[in-house]
């Protein structure tokens, strides 16, 4: 990956691109929403399809010359249908947020009511945060996780829904380490005559591989990001039934977007093909096994995990008990210095500011993509412990930085 042609035109950008590849090779990527795609997906995303305008849908485009764009989009759709078992799929959303926008635009009017999980409890900006278009456009009420258990408070959600009478209930989360009971939320949605949007942005790959239960066929709409656990490159996706197909398609184009990013849709097609192979199931199983091994070792070291563990690809560490004087920001910075890249995160019952909250979120999708097994994940947990416990100690951090480099060398990335 030397970006020769970029270098000939623009050495400054070429330097940044090669430095970024090296950064990814030489650090432990533990941001739970990130991953490493294959070289095949990278190549498809960097293809000449970036030149093509293909407004509309396969067979019904507004421009000439779309025959290959049609092929690629049809392949992406067919493979998604096979992966998730959805009746209707729209692969055009530029991102997960725009996939959600497509559903809202299709089904809601301004001022309609949205019931979603509170951001600091694991929700997402696009579920109704005041700074997001959703918070400005709709009337939003939010449910929470149970403060004792860290699990979704399904009873509280149900009671709130009956009182608030939402038009749509949003499930699916950004920082929730447990399986979601889609059926239970669907029962509530049906009881109050609301639509149910299950946003599986983080767990698309886990659901596709069958290592997390699927909301497809349960909720009315399922949205996702294609660059998180599914490893198909940056973008979004919407799945629904035939009943809502035309409303969703019209909401994405021309409702919310113009021309689709056809090069990214090519990346989705290739990534979905990879995800249909048996190796992908092994990958998804490894993601969860690694997260469990990581979480258990962190607990052995004294850390407190929100919900007491994980069923998924991530752990959420609440630092308040084990390290009351260390903020999520302190931990994130110290870990970044040694090459462990993760993010500070709010925790349920947050007592600090969202800019410097009390937790850190750590995910295993990118580590598992480069082959990390449970033993290696336990080693990573030990390194995290040493750094957080000694976040001001430069000698300790220098030692851990060497261990991180050695681990990266054991599990190489983008070798050729
Ligand atoms: C990551 C995420 C999204 C979408 O993010 P984009 O950055 O817009 O792709 C949507 N919903 C949830 C729950 C997420 O975690």
CATH classification of the domain holding 355: 3.90.1150.10
SS3 of 405, please? helix
88 is in an annotated binding site: no
* Amino acid 415: pLDDT: 87
Q: What residue's CA is closest to ligand 1, atom 1?
A: 201
242 is in an annotated binding site: yes
As a whole-number percent, the residues of the chain with pLDDT over 70 amount to 100
Q: What is the pLDDT of residues 109-156, one digit of tens each?
A: 999 999 999 998 999 999 999 999 999 999 999 999 998 899 999 999
For ligand 1, whether the C-beta of 172 sits within 6 Å is yes
* Amino acid 198: pLDDT: 98
The answer to whether residues 109 and 175 belong to one domain is: yes
* Amino acid 235: pLDDT: 98
The answer to whether residues 177 and 221 belong to one domain is: yes
Is residue 416 over pLDDT 90? Answer: no
Is residue 1 over pLDDT 90? Answer: no
The answer to whether residues 128 and 204 belong to one domain is: yes
Mean pLDDT value across residues 311-327: 96
pLDDT band at 311 (very low <50, low <70, confident <90, very high): very high
In-domain check, residue 23: no
Residue of 318, 314, 337, 315 lying closest to 386 (CA atoms): 337
Q: What residue's CA is closest to ligand 1, atom 2?
A: 201
Query: Any idea of the CA torsion for 181, 183, 188, 193, to the nearest 10 degrees?
Result: 140
In-domain check, residue 291: yes
The answer to whether residues 229 and 360 belong to one domain is: no
The answer to whether residues 258 and 284 belong to one domain is: no
Strand partners, 145: 152
The answer to whether residues 293 and 267 belong to one domain is: no
As a whole-number percent, the residues of the chain with pLDDT over 90 amount to 97
How many domains does one find in the chain?
2
Mean pLDDT value across residues 247-267: 98
Integer Cα distance of 164 and 98 in angstroms: 26
C-alpha 96 – ligand 1 centre gap (Å): 5
C-alpha 68 – ligand 1 centre gap (Å): 29
Q: Does pTM surpass 0.95?
A: yes
In-domain check, residue 125: yes
The answer to whether residues 210 and 151 belong to one domain is: yes
The answer to whether residues 183 and 54 belong to one domain is: yes
In-domain check, residue 55: yes
Q: What is the pLDDT of residues 364-400, one digit of tens each?
A: 999 999 999 999 999 999 999 999 999 999 999 999 9
The answer to whether residues 329 and 252 belong to one domain is: no
* Amino acid 317: pLDDT: 97
| Residue where a domain terminates, one of 237, 255, 275 | 275
| Residue where a domain terminates, one of 256, 275, 294 | 275
For ligand 1, whether the C-beta of 84 sits within 6 Å is no
Integer Cα distance of 144 and 392 in angstroms: 35
Is residue 218 over pLDDT 90? Answer: yes
The answer to whether residues 66 and 200 belong to one domain is: yes
As a whole number of Å, the CA-based R_g of the chain is: 21
Domain extent for 382: 279-410
C-alpha 91 – ligand 1 centre gap (Å): 15
């Amino acid at each position: 990956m030397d970006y020769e042609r970029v270098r000939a035109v623009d050495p400054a950008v070429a330097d940044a691109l090669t430095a970024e590849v090296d950064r990814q090779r030489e650090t432990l990527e533990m941001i739970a929403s990130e991953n490493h795609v294959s070289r095949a997906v990278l190549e498809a995303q960097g293809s000449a399809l970036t030149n093509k305008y293909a407004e509309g849908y396969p067979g019904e485009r507004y421009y000439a010359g779309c025959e290959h764009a049609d092929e690629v989009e049809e392949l992406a759709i067919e493979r998604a249908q096979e992966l998730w078992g959805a009746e209707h799929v729209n692969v055009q959303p530029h991102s997960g947020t725009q996939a959600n926008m497509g559903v809202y635009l299709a089904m809601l009017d301004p001022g309609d009511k949205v019931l979603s999980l509170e951001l600091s409890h694991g929700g997402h900006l696009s579920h109704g945060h005041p700074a997001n278009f959703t918070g400005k456009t709709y009337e939003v009420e939010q449910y929470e996780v149970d403060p004792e258990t860290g699990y979704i408070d399904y009873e509280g959600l149900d009671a709130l829904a009956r009182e608030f009478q939402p038009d749509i209930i949003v499930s699916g989360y950004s920082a929730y380490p447990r399986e979601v009971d889609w059926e239970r939320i669907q029962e509530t949605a049906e009881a109050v005559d609301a639509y149910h949007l299950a946003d599986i942005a983080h767990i698309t790959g886990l659901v596709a591989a069958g290592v997390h239960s699927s909301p497809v066929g349960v909720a009315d709409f399922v949205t996702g990001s294609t660059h998180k656990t599914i490893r198909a490159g940056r973008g979004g996706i919407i799945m629904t039934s035939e009943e809502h197909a035309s409303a969703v398609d019209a909401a994405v184009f021309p409702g919310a977007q113009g021309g689709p990013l056809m090069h990214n849709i090519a990346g989705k097609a290739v990534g979905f093909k990879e995800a249909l192979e048996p190796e992908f199931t092994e990958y998804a199983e490894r993601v969860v096994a690694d997260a469990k091994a990581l979480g258990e070792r962190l607990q052995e070291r004294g850390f407190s995990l929100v919900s007491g563990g994980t069923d998924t690809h991530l752990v959420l560490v609440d630092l308040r008990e084990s390290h009351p004087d260390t903020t999520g920001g302190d931990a994130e910075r110290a870990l970044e210095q040694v090459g462990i890249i993760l993010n500070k995160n709010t925790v349920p019952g947050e007592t600090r500011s969202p800019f410097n909250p009390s937790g850190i979120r750590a995910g295993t999708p990118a580590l598992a993509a480069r082959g990390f097994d449970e033993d290696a994940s336990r080693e990573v947990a030990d390194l995290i412990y040493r750094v957080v416990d000694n976040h001001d100690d430069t000698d300790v951090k220098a030692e851990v930085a060497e261990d991180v480099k050695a681990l990266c060398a054991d599990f190489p990335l983008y070798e050729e």
